[in-house]
Amino acid sequence: MHYIITDKLEDYLKVILQMPKEKQIDDVLKEFIEQDTDFERLEEDDKIYMYSTLKKILKLIHLVLKYPNVCPILFVHTPLTKRILEDAFYNVAPTIPTILNIKIEVMQ
């Protein structure tokens, strides 16, 4: 059951990005995940998948915030994942315009 719901990803991104910047990405993710009731219901494999996915996305967001002219590439396994991430990025773009610099490519 490796899937991400667009609204949930948007919620993750918005909440995480509002937390203090001095915290490490791991600390921020752990704190947020501990408070997320939906995350508790996931199976262990799905928790690991969500955690690693969010960590990768946060690292890319940090990169495009720090270097606005950089266009990192995020490789995903399915077109559905690409569409979900693109939808979430477009919805977060009013707050973080450089998030649209992240290019998402399907690697099959």
Digit-coded pLDDT (tens) for 38-59: 888 889 998 888 888 888 888 8
Residue 37 pLDDT = 84
Tokens of 20: 């203090």
- Residue ranges covered by each domain of the chain: 6-106
For residue 69, what pLDDT band results from cuts at 50, 70 and 90? very high
12 versus 97: the higher-pLDDT residue is 97
For range 65-81, the mean pLDDT: 90
- Whether the pTM exceeds 0.95: the reply is no
Residue 73 pLDDT = 95
Q: State the virtual CA torsion across 86, 89, 72, 29 in degrees, nearest 10.
A: -120
